[in-house]
Amino acid sequence: MDATLRTVAPLVGAGLDRLVHAKLSSNVGPLELAARAANSLELVGDDIGPTVVTMLE
């Protein structure tokens, strides 16, 4: 339980940071951002899909 509590806070903070950054820089809402992420994950490894490295940017 202690390890989980130490790990969760930075991950939640990073997730919220990504949501706010997407909204402020590109005017992309959270649902659209989640849909884009899900789509990108489905296309990894496909000829037209992104590579894992480009998804980390």
Distance, CA of 49 to CA of 40 (rounded, Å): 7
**Per-residue confidence (pLDDT) for residue 28, from 0 to 100:** 94
Domain count, the chain: 1
26-46 pLDDT per residue, tens: 999 999 999 988 988 888 888
Where in the sequence is the domain holding 51, given as residue range(s)? Answer: 2-55
What pTM was computed for the model?
0.68
Q: Could you give the CA distance from residue 15 to residue 11 in angstroms, rounded to a whole number?
A: 6
Per cent of the chain over pLDDT 70 is 98
